[in-house]
Structure 1
Amino acid sequence: MNYEHLFKTLGRRPIRMALVGPKGGFGRSLVVQCRALPSLEIAALCDLDIDGTLATLASLGFDAGAATVCNDADDVKAARAAGRIALVGDYALLDAVELDIVVEATGQPEVSVRIAENALRRGVHVAMATKETDSVVGPYLNQLAIENGVVYTTPDGDQPSNLIGLVTWARVLGFEVVAAGKSSEYDFIYDPAAHTVDYLDERHAVSLDACWTLGDDISATLAARRQALSMLPQSATPDYCELNVVSNSTGLPPAAEALNYPLARITELADIFVPREDGGILARTGVVDVFNCLRRPDDVSFGGGVFVVVRCKDDETWQLLKQKGHLVGRNGRYACIYLPYHLMGLETPMSLFSAVLLGQPTGSATQRPHARMVARATRDFKAGETLAMGGHHHTIEGVTPLLFDRVEAGDAAPFYLAANKRLVSDVAKGELVPLAALDLEGSALHAAWRRNPSA
């Protein structure tokens, strides 16, 4: 793909962008890249922490006068007339800014859905980086965008958009996608000389020598690895959310409710994410799943990247590719194609260019609620308690995530619809949190969820 040709109209006039949530890692990385792109103009920044946003701009080398703090619509118009970034704390003031696209990155679903609705209804494209919102109401927002003649898209640089891109690339080329997935956020790094495993800032003494290679019984090897590293977390809430988005965008169902999370080396993926009858872990094919990247200190990381496992249709072709270093499984029936990176906001301009210049999403043009991320209580909850969301990974204390086929989810509430909601009835340990147990009075997210198209 020649991107310079694809976006040949780039630069005829600057694309006017508003970024909501500029202080986080994603937002900051997008602002960094915007500085290198004169064709992309930061028209507005929106964040409750005005001082923190000004500090972020200063740390990135923006002049002190580059942004003007705006308290009303007149302030906004004056700032823009002076060629400055309108810095607002109230997202409603974005309506006073002439925009081509809004990038939503607050991570707060109840706020995020309102921002997206406002933009789409006034004919402004939306790139939704708040995957918590996308997992609940992405299909509705996609439909709303179509009704208003604009684009709603996942942004490249986040794993959902990158994986949607890889899946659709494979389909266009005629590959049968057996599995599609991503690595979880952090690597498990094994030092065979020291017999230690590093995970984030932790180091544990453990030997994986006996299960370092897959051997003939893949399931047994994976079970041994899981047991040996049982002191470490082997699943993460964002993975369920991200694969919910991918499932809704591609129609691929989850491989398992808890996802499989094998501890796997990159070279093993084409042997693991294959049907059980061929020695792998899949009960069915055409699914989404996650793995934990296991590697040595001198091995390359998967970088939070994405992959597809495809069925090999011609032995001679794939043996030739295997000789060239491509990942072909031991039985020659499956191959793994992967992108070992996701660069957050550094990649996102591609999605902005596609939406504004081509009128096309880099995510899915149509979404349906094929899957539902739900919450299972890990303790007893009493009516009146709040399911508080917090932490870097937007977890909910006292529950664990699962990813169901939509029909199998029944009356279980979407995970991020339940977040920060007060319970109106008890929920017992082991139960899925039901929609009826939530106080949804005034919830914009619930109102939007009810407008989701059918699967």
Structure 2
Amino acid sequence: MSYMDQLRQRERELGRPVRVGLVGAGQMGLGFVAQVTRIPGMEISAIADVVPERGHEAFKRSNRGQAITCGTPGERAAAVLRGEPVVVTDALDLVALPIDVIVDASGVPDVGASVAFFGLLAGKDIALLNVECDVTIGLLLSTVAQRMGRVYTVCRGDEPVECKRLVDYVRDIGFTVVCAGKGKNNPLDPTATPEALADQAKAKHMNPKMLASFVDGSKTMIEMVALANATDLQVSQRGMTGPHATVNDLPWAFRTEEDGGVLPAAGVVDYCTGPVAPGVFVIGHCDDPVVTAEMEYLMMGEGPYYAFYRPFHLASVEAPLTVAEAVLDRNPSLAPTVWNAEVVAVAKRDLRAGERIDGIGGSTVYGTAERAVVAADEQLVPLGLVSGAEVVRDVAAGTVLTAQDVRIDHNTMIATLRRLQDRLIAGQPIDLPAAGQTASLAA
């Protein structure tokens, strides 16, 4: 039975649709609202945005009518129960509402951390359109969700989730996964800044910082690290290899060096530039002569390396599928199962002592992928923690930042939860406080 049929049946049985709370009504959030409107049995009940007009506009476009913006928490909850839309400015207000799933489309790691953690403690399922948060504290959030009997997941439609589905498929048919990856939409320029890209961003109707995070490679690193941690694949080297490739090139480029490819080892994540974008791919290996003969007959190539390719990912258009999967199947679309990889911060230009880091997609740092054990041994700074950090000594452009280079604000929610995750990875016990007891999380 399709998800749409199951959602209709669920609504008939319960007398109401799946209630979704959304954080962030920007480009991704607005697209998510538009798509949910087309799916019977699912409804956006409340939107949280620091600019409430964006929430109202999203509901207006979805023909939901005038949203409620004031009143007590009890009055807002009653409105949700009546099926009336609600707009709030504080994302944590969603935690107290009678909704089933909170979807975070803020793109801000610290916002995602707060909403996800307290949402899970309040008994909500959590779905992120905020992979930046996942690659910083996703293992902790996944562990909390399992302990609470909830679902924590990254949303479908983004490359890591769609690529994971290919990884599962290739493994299910008995092939060895040599590499899993994505096509990068634009040439890599680690020095790209939102100021330099302002005109392009305006033409694309994008936030300049978002575009900068694409061009400087941060987003690609974030996505592939999320994939590595969800599939137990590795990062072969800092920054991965990133060759130029066409679809036909994939099984030749992404094989091990000893077989003429670019990979130092098999079982890794990587990316390429070129016309593979906006697709995702997996390179599978099988050298059984019967299977290779069948694959050649089926026009999959001569082997023993084979490219399994999906030529698209549909972002917010596919994201509601994750809500259905969480509510109906109680499964995450993608969540960390191990902590193999990190995204660490690199100086985009020469940084001077006393400067503040402006975060992902800004003018001061970009992200690069690294093995988690290397990042821990060298005390490299996770990209998701660096926003607002103070530079404490001069750092040359291209330097991977360490704990000795910057002073991180350890009072943020994401930094607090990162300390808990570090304890979890080290095998130390962690306590899970009730919502609102943030101070007791300090480690």
Q: TM-score range by the shorter chain?
A: 0.7 to 0.9
* More displaced stretch, 423-432 vs 37-46: 423-432
Query: Is 2:92 aligned against 1:92?
Result: yes
Q: What are the Cα deviations for residues 48-75 of structure 1, in whole angstroms up to 9, with x where unaligned?
A: 11112222333x341432x222354144
Q: 1:285 aligns with which of 250, 255, 266?
A: 266
5 Å-filtered alignment, 1:116-135, equals 116-135=116-135
Q: Which has the higher strand share?
A: 1
CA distance in 2, matches of 1:368, 1:397: 31
Contact preservation (8 Å) 1:43, 1:99:
yes
Alignment CA distance shift 1:343-1:234 (3 Å): closer
Regions of 4+ moved over 6 Å: 4-8
Provide the aligned C-alpha RMSD in A.
Answer: 2.5
Query: Is 2:17 aligned against 1:43?
Result: no
Query: Is 2:24 aligned against 1:21?
Result: yes
Residue of structure 1 in register with 2:145 after alignment: 145
Partner SS for 1:266: coil
CA distance in 1, matches of 2:118, 2:147: 13
Deviation at 1:431, TM superposition (A): 2.9
CA distance in 1, matches of 2:287, 2:389: 50
Deviation at 1:110, TM superposition (A): 1.2
Query: Is 2:245 aligned against 1:264?
Result: yes
Q: What are the Cα deviations for residues 227-259 of structure 1, in whole angstroms up to 9, with x where unaligned?
A: xxxxxx976210001111111112211133122
* More displaced stretch, 395-404 vs 282-291: 395-404
Partner SS for 2:69: strand
5 Å-filtered alignment, 1:228-267, equals 236-267=217-248
Contact preservation (8 Å) 1:165, 1:363:
no
Deviation at 1:270, TM superposition (A): 0.6
Q: What are the Cα deviations for residues 53-105 of structure 1, in whole angstroms up to 9, with x where unaligned?
A: 222333x341432x222354144134224421111111222133101111111
Residue of structure 2 in register with 1:439 after alignment: 408
Query: Is 2:349 aligned against 1:368?
Result: no
Partner SS for 1:19: strand
Residue of structure 2 in register with 1:397 after alignment: 363
Contact preservation (8 Å) 1:9, 1:357:
no
Q: What are the Cα deviations for residues 325-364 of structure 1, in whole angstroms up to 9, with x where unaligned?
A: 43x3xx6220000111111122122211121122111113
Q: What are the Cα deviations for residues 379-409 of structure 1, in whole angstroms up to 9, with x where unaligned?
A: 33233211113xxxx3232333221111111
Percent identity over the alignment?
28
Query: Is 2:419 aligned against 1:450?
Result: yes
Contact preservation (8 Å) 2:22, 2:48:
yes
TM-score, normalised by the number of residues in structure 2: 0.82
Partner SS for 2:425: coil
Residue of structure 2 in register with 1:212 after alignment: none
CA distance in 2, matches of 1:283, 1:20: 40
Deviation at 1:32, TM superposition (A): 1.6
Q: Specify the code of the residue in structure 2 equivalent to 1:369.
A: W
Residue of structure 2 in register with 1:427 after alignment: 395
CA distance in 1, matches of 2:281, 2:173: 15
Q: Which has the higher helix share?
A: 2
Q: 2:347 aligns with which of 377, 382, 390?
A: 377
* More displaced stretch, 425-434 vs 116-125: 425-434
Contact preservation (8 Å) 1:160, 1:245:
yes
Partner SS for 2:308: strand
Deviation at 1:15, TM superposition (A): 1.0
5 Å-filtered alignment, 1:92-111, equals 92-111=92-111
State the number of aligned residues: 395
Partner SS for 1:76: helix
Partner SS for 2:384: helix
5+ residue gaps in structure 1?
A: 189-199, 202-232, 295-301
Contact preservation (8 Å) 2:94, 2:102:
no
Q: What are the Cα deviations for residues 106-143 of structure 1, in whole angstroms up to 9, with x where unaligned?
A: 01111110011110001111011111111100001111
Q: Specify the code of the residue in structure 1 equivalent to 2:48.
A: C
Residue of structure 2 in register with 1:297 after alignment: none
Deviation at 1:443, TM superposition (A): 1.6
Query: Is 2:163 aligned against 1:166?
Result: no
Contact preservation (8 Å) 1:234, 1:261:
no
* More displaced stretch, 144-153 vs 344-353: 344-353
5+ residue gaps in structure 2?
A: 189-199, 202-213, 427-443
CA distance in 2, matches of 1:158, 1:47: 22
CA distance in 1, matches of 2:46, 2:137: 25
